[in-house]
């Protein structure tokens, strides 16, 4: 059983003639082997995967010199034949488990459906099979989990349930489209282990990812795609170890893990810029149970330094950022900013009007920059809004120099953020943040939604801005490579508490707390190439 | 393969070229009619020299002719002149009522959306209460307390249709209130008034432009209906609903007395609807 692909090309009609999304991709996938498609978003990875299982869409024009599964030509298949093939012989794991799973259906039923769609077994046999599958992908307590809906499962369990439905009929080939994107490192490591087990059991894997560390751990053969064309392919060790093509090298260099860690700087003296003391917050969830979201969180941040905040999702990183920015009020504890009270929990809150004069000393950069822009506004209006003190005569000049500072062309000022790429949007957000000349920028996962090469550019930019303008960063990320590169000091959070704090170099090399070690091990698993 | 994929697109081309032309025809006619209405309301003498109230008993019940294109009524008054002069009152009612509606909606939505949890619940209740009040009952109440005339009608229709708009604006304010860009504006140190004026109101109103445009037509129909029932301007005032009501007695022998005011009402409603849809397309086509 093997999949042979020779000169696969996929094009879509567009107003200016056919648009080639993928050009001449060729490879062979054998059982027990892993082929990886690597590239940035828009490089044609997902389109290729969809083309292979006949899901490229009605508009797509798919051609190939050879496209055969075990010698059977797939080019002439009818939609009906495709349906019989998908799931039974080729399984597909989609990118976003929350979207790919029916939100109103228990996952057990979802998995059972991939069985019943191919008329597999009786109802009782199917139920048993679902439990076996859930166990197989490492979901504890399968009888309970099968009855839960996707939103009741964590991201990792959800992704595993999706994999379970893809392997329900034990297909010999499995296509996994970004199976670990948006997952925490520890969960990523679990998925990595699961996929590795499937490979060892003889499943052929086509892995699509922009994460080179992940690819390096799993793949035998790597295909690097750029603008729909194959720039390089071959043995994983050769491609990642001795890349020939410039683009592959760019991708590799962009991986934050390969970047030297931040040089140690002398410990700061003088008063801190920001000091948080004993922040606590509890909220009642929809189920009526009160949960402690933050407990006794305290730290200080000195001018010009970068403090990293790491931890799994749900550990309270973003809540801490929201309290620091004065958008959420803690139950108790206080934050001092610029030597004056900024946020205080309990009976004597600091009024927003008392914060407003100092607001411009603190800026924010969000994970989703688009949501932080008024949809009616152009880039010019967004930046002008952050520059109210600039007289209107000098405003255009100020906006042009801001855009120049974040290395965007001045022509972008007339456009709406929705029409920009993710990297450009984040640059506009950074331009707005530095427009107010802040002493502190709170960055909440500023690069996690970006491709690695864009990520590297944005991180370069943030570093350069800090060097030139001397502001401090409170930097939230779940990516340890990014943290290692950007931060002087690190806080490790778990379940709303700070479990370890100290200089980045020490924490990332010699962690003391068990949880920090787990985080590091997971990251190590992913990046050991 | 190339020839195969080319063939269907060639047959489709003419219709593709035709559709925009047809698509623009409706809105163009609608906006033209609305412009005509505006002229009739602001300067009716530009369109007709006849006096809408001048009686000429000898000319009573004339069918449409060159001298009287829309015919005359039982007292010999020119129907065309009356329809033209009636536009002012109908539009004043429509515009006035919609302004009042939107004003009430905006205030309630802002109070409810930004005034804290108690205000939010209060506005929810108020919307439910407003919804329970039929416009007709409100109109009777207003005419009974304020007397007949245009002001009570505006109040009645304005308050009566406020519930729907309030619910829409309220929902918008609630979603915009928590939007990332409002938070970003707060983080930039902008004051609450500036945030309401520059972010919350414009974004809350954006989807409302369309509904409000269509709402003008709706209120014109409402005002005609209330006048028809005798709650509006008393006869022989040149008002579309009143004219309908007067013509009803003679519908068998003088159809034009009801037909032309009725046509004016239908066309007004139709053109505001078409114009509203055209605006919607223009707004949705522009930007995100």
Q: What is the DSSP letter of A408?
A: -
Interface residue ranges in chain A relative to chain B, Cβ cutoff 8 Å: 13, 61, 325, 327, 352, 356-360, 362-364, 366, 368, 371-376, 385-386, 416, 418, 432, 436
Tokens found for residue B90: 């109908």
Beta strand A66-69 with A3-12 is: antiparallel
The CATH class of the B28-38+69-284 domain is mainly alpha
CA distance A240 to A227: 20
Is pLDDT at A57 greater than 60 in this prediction? yes
The partner residue sitting opposite B188, judged by closest CB among A352, A386, A418, is A386
pLDDT at residue B10 is higher than 50:
no
For residue A259, pLDDT beyond 90: no
Cβ contact A452:A272 at 8 Å = no
* A341 burial type by CB count under 10 A (0-12 exposed, 13-18 middle, 19+ buried): middle
d(CA A241, CA A162): 33
- List, edge to edge, every strand of the sheet that includes A274-284: A290-301, A274-284, A332-337, A340-344
Selecting from B5, B187, B199 the residue whose C-beta is nearest the C-beta of A359 gives B187
The single-letter DSSP state of residue B63 is P
Can you tell me the mean pLDDT for A328-342? Answer: 93
Q: What six digits make up the tokens of A307?
A: 């403090």
Task: Tell me if A61 and B288 make a contact (CB, 8 A cut-off).
Answer: no
Average pLDDT on A275-292 reads 84
Q: Which candidate from A359, A416, A432 shows the least CB-CB separation from B288?
A: A416
Strands (E), A311-372: 332-337, 340-344, 362-365
Q: Summarize pLDDT for A358-370 with one digit per residue, the tens.
A: 998 999 998 888 8
A175 DSSP β-pair partners: A92, A206
User: In Å, what is the CA distance from A498 to each residue of A105, A277, A280?
Assistant: 37, 12, 12
* pLDDT confidence of residue A527: 57
CA distances in angstroms from A499 to A101, A509, B7, B54, listed in the order given? 35, 16, 68, 92
Best residue in B184, B192, B207, B288 to probe A by mutation, most A CBs within 10 Å? B184
Mean pLDDT of chain A: 87
Residue B16 predicted with pLDDT over 60: no
Give per-residue burial for A419-432: e unless 16+ CB within 10 Å, then b: ebebbbbbbbbbbb
Element of type H or E holding A62: strand A61-63
> What local confidence, expressed as pLDDT, does residue A285 receive?
66
Whole-number Cα distances in Å, B161 to A388, B103, B166, B215, B243: 40, 12, 9, 9, 24
Top-ranked range on mean pLDDT: pick from A21-25, B16-20, B91-95: A21-25
The residues in B 139-198 lying below 8 A from A, measured between CB atoms, are: 179-181, 183-191, 198
In a mutagenesis test of the B interface, which of A10, A355, A376 is the best target, namely the one with the most B β-carbons within 10 Å? A376
pLDDT, one tens digit per residue, over B62-105 is: 878 877 888 887 888 888 888 888 888 888 888 888 899 999 99
Tokens of A374: 């008024």
Distance from CA of B119 to the nearest CA of A (A): 20
**Average pLDDT in the A60-81 region?**
87
Q: Which residues of A touch B181 (CB under 8 A)?
A: 371-375
Instruction: Give just the sign of the alpha carbon dihedral A499, A504, A507, A508.
Output: positive
The pLDDT of residue B104 is: 93
Asked if residue A13 lies in contact with residue A21, where contact means CB atoms within 8 angstroms, the answer is no
A411 burial (CB, 10 Å; 0-12 / 13-18 / 19+) is exposed
pLDDT of the residue at A94: 78
Distances (CA, A) of A327 to A127, A364, A421, B126, B177: 47, 11, 28, 30, 13
- Residue of chain B with shortest Cα separation from A13: B5
What's the pLDDT score for residue A333? 93
Cα B266 to Cα B157: distance, rounded to the nearest angstrom: 18
Classify B25 as helix, strand or coil: helix
- Length of chain B in terms of residues written: 288
Higher per-residue confidence, B20 vs A319: A319
Select from A180, A176, A143 the least CA-distant residue to A158. A180
| Alpha carbon distance B288, B286 (integer Å) | 7
Q: How confident is the model at residue A97 (pLDDT cuts 50, 70, 90)?
A: low
User: pLDDT class for A440, splitting at 50, 70, 90?
Assistant: very high
Neighbours of B194 (CB within 10 A): 14
Q: How far is B176 from chain A (nearest CA, A)?
A: 10
> Mutating which of B180, B195, B284 best tests the A interface, going by the most A Cβ atoms within 10 A?
B180
Least trusted range by pLDDT, from A397-406, B163-172, B249-258, B264-273: B249-258
Mean pLDDT for A298-326 is 90
* Dihedral over Cα of B130, B135, B136, B141: its sign: positive
The rounded mean pLDDT for chain B is 81
Q: Do A356 and B288 touch (CB under 8 A)?
A: no
Q: Is the pLDDT of residue B175 over 60?
A: yes
Q: What is the pLDDT of residue B246?
A: 85
DSSP line for A211-279: -HHHHHHH-SEEEEEETTEEEEEEEHHHHHHS--SHHHHHHHHHSGGGSPPPPP-PPP-S--SEEEEEE
- Kindly list the structural domains of chain A, giving each domain's residue range(s) and its CATH number in brackets, ordered by start: 104-170 (no CATH), 274-526 (3.40.50.300)
Question: Which of A149-153, A319-323, B81-85: highest mean pLDDT?
Answer: A319-323
CB contact under 8 A, A366 and B180: yes
pLDDT category, A299, cuts 50, 70, 90? very high
Burial track A4-41 (b if 16+ CB lie within 10 A, e otherwise): bbeebbbbeeeeeeeebbbbebebebbeebbbbbbbbe
For residue A458 the two structure tokens come to: 């944005």
Pairs across A and B, CB distance < 8 A: 61
pLDDT at B58: 82
User: How far apart, in Å, are the Cα atoms of A124 and each of A107, A116, A121, A131, A346?
Assistant: 16, 11, 8, 11, 56
DSSP, res A333: E
Could you give the CA distance from residue A205 to residue A253 in angstroms, rounded to a whole number? 26
Q: Lowest mean pLDDT: which of A24-28, A152-156, A190-194, B273-277?
A: A152-156
- pLDDT in the model for residue B1: 36
pLDDT reported for residue A340: 92
Q: What's residue A526's pLDDT?
A: 59
Judged against a pLDDT cut of 50, whether residue A139 lies above it is answered with yes
Reference A439, options A332, A528, A340, A320; nearest CA is A340
Instruction: Give the distance, in angstroms, between the CA of residue A474 and the centroid of all CA atoms in the same chain.
Output: 19
Give yes or no for B288 touching A (CB within 8 A): yes
**Contact (Cβ atoms closer than 8 angstroms) between residue B256 and residue B70:** yes
Q: How many C-beta neighbours within 10 Å does residue A261 have? A: 17
Give A386→chain B minimum CA distance, Å: 7
The sign of the dihedral angle between the CA atoms of A198, A204, A206, A212 is positive
Confidence band, pLDDT 50/70/90 cuts, at residue A220 = very high
Structure-token match 């093509």, residue found: A245
**How many residues in total does chain A contain?**
529
Whole-number Å distance between alpha carbons of A230 and A163: 28
Q: Does residue A507 carry a pLDDT above 70?
A: yes
Pairing of strands A472-476, A440-444: parallel
Q: Which residue in B has a C-alpha nearest to residue A17's C-alpha?
A: B6
Query: CB distance B203–A368 less than 8 Å?
Result: no
């Amino acid at each position: 059983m093997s999949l042979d692909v020779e000169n696969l090309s996929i094009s879509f009609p567009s107003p200016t003639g056919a648009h080639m999304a993928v050009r001449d991709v060729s490879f062979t996938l054998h059982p027990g082997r892993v082929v990886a498609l690597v590239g940035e978003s828009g490089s044609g990875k997902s389109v290729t995967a969809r083309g292979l299982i006949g899901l490229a869409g009605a508009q797509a024009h798919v051609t190939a010199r050879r496209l055969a599964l075990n010698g059977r030509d797939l080019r002439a298949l009818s939609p009906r034949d495709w349906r019989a093939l998908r799931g039974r012989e080729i399984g597909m794991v989609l990118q976003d488990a929350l979207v790919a799973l029916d939100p109103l259906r228990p996952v057990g039923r979802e998995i059972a459906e991939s069985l019943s769609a191919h008329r597999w077994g009786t109802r009782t046999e199917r139920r048993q099979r679902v439990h076996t599958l859930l166990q197989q992908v490492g979901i504890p307590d399968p009888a309970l989990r099968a009855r839960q809906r996707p939103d009741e499962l964590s991201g990792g369990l959800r992704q595993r349930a999706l994999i379970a439905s893809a392997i329900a009929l034990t297909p010999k080939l499995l296509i996994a489209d970004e199976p670990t994107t948006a997952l925490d490192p520890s969960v990523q490591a679990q998925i990595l282990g699961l996929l590795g087990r499937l490979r060892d059991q003889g499943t052929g894997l086509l892995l699509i990812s922009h994460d080179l560390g992940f690819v390096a751990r799993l793949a035998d053969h790597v295909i690097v795609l750029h603008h729909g064309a194959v720039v390089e392919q071959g043995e994983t060790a050769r491609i990642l170890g001795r890349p020939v093509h410039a683009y592959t090298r760019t991708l590799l260099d962009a991986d934050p893990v390969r970047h030297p860690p931040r040089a140690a700087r002398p410990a700061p003296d003088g008063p801190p810029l920001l000091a948080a003391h004993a922040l606590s917050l509890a909220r009642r969830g929809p189920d009526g149970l009160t949960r402690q979201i933050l407990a006794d969180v305290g730290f200080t941040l000195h001018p010009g330094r970068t403090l990293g905040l790491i931890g799994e999702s749900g550990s309270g990183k973003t809540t801490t950022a929201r309290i620091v920015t004065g958008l959420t009020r803690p139950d108790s504890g206080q934050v001092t900013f610029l030597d004056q009270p900024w946020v205080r929990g309990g009976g004597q809150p600091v009024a927003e009007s008392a914060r407003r004069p100092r607001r411009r000393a603190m800026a924010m950069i969000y994970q989703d920059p688009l949501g932080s822009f008024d949809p009616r506004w152009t880039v010019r209006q967004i930046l002008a809004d952050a520059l109210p003190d600039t007289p209107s005569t000098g405003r255009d000049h100020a906006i042009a120099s801001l855009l120049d500072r974040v290395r965007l062309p001045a022509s972008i000022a007339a456009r709406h953020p929705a029409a920009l790429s993710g990297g450009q949007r984040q640059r506009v957000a950074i331009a707005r943040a530095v427009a107010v000349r802040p002493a502190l920028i709170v960055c909440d996962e500023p690069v996690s939604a970006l491709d690695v090469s864009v990520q590297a550019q944005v991180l370069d930019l943030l570093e350069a801005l800090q060097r030139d303008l001397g502001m401090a960063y409170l930097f939230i990320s779940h990516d340890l490579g990014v943290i290692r590169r950007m931060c002087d000091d690190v806080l490790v959070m778990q379940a709303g508490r700070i479990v370890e704090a100290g200089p980045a170099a020490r924490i990332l090399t010699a962690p003391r707390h068990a949880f920090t070690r787990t985080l590091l091990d997971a990251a190590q698993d992913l990046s050991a190439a | 393969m190339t020839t195969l994929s080319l063939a269907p697109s060639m047959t489709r081309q003419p219709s593709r070229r035709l559709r925009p032309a047809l698509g623009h025809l409706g809105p163009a006619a609608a906006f033209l009619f609305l412009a005509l209405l505006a002229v009739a309301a602001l300067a009716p003498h530009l369109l007709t020299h006849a006096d809408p109230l001048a009686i000429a008993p000898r000319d009573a019940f004339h069918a449409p002719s060159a001298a009287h294109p829309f015919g005359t009524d039982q007292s010999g008054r020119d129907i065309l002149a009356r329809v033209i002069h009636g536009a002012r009152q109908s539009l004043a009612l429509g515009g006035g009522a919609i302004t009042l509606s939107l004003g009430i909606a905006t205030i309630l939505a802002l109070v409810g959306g930004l005034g804290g949890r108690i205000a939010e619940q209060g506005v929810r209740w108020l919307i439910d209460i407003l919804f329970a009040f039929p416009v007709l009952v409100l109109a009777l109440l207003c005419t009974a307390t304020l007397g007949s005339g245009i002001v009570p009608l505006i109040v009645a229709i304005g308050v009566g249709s406020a519930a729907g708009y309030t619910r829409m604006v309220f929902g918008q304010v609630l979603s915009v209130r928590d939007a990332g860009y409002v938070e970003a504006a707060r983080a930039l140190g902008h004051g609450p008034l500036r945030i309401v004026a520059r972010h919350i109101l414009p974004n809350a109103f954006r989807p409302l432009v369309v509904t409000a445009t269509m709402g003008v037509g709706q209120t014109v129909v409402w005002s005609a209906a209330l006048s028809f029932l005798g709650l509006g301007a008393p006869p022989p005032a040149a008002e579309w609903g009143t004219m309908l009501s007067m013509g009803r007695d003679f519908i068998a022998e003088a159809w034009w007395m009801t037909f032309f005011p009725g046509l004016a009402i239908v066309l007004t409603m139709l053109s505001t609807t078409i114009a509203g849809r055209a605006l919607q397309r223009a707004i949705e086509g522009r930007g995100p």
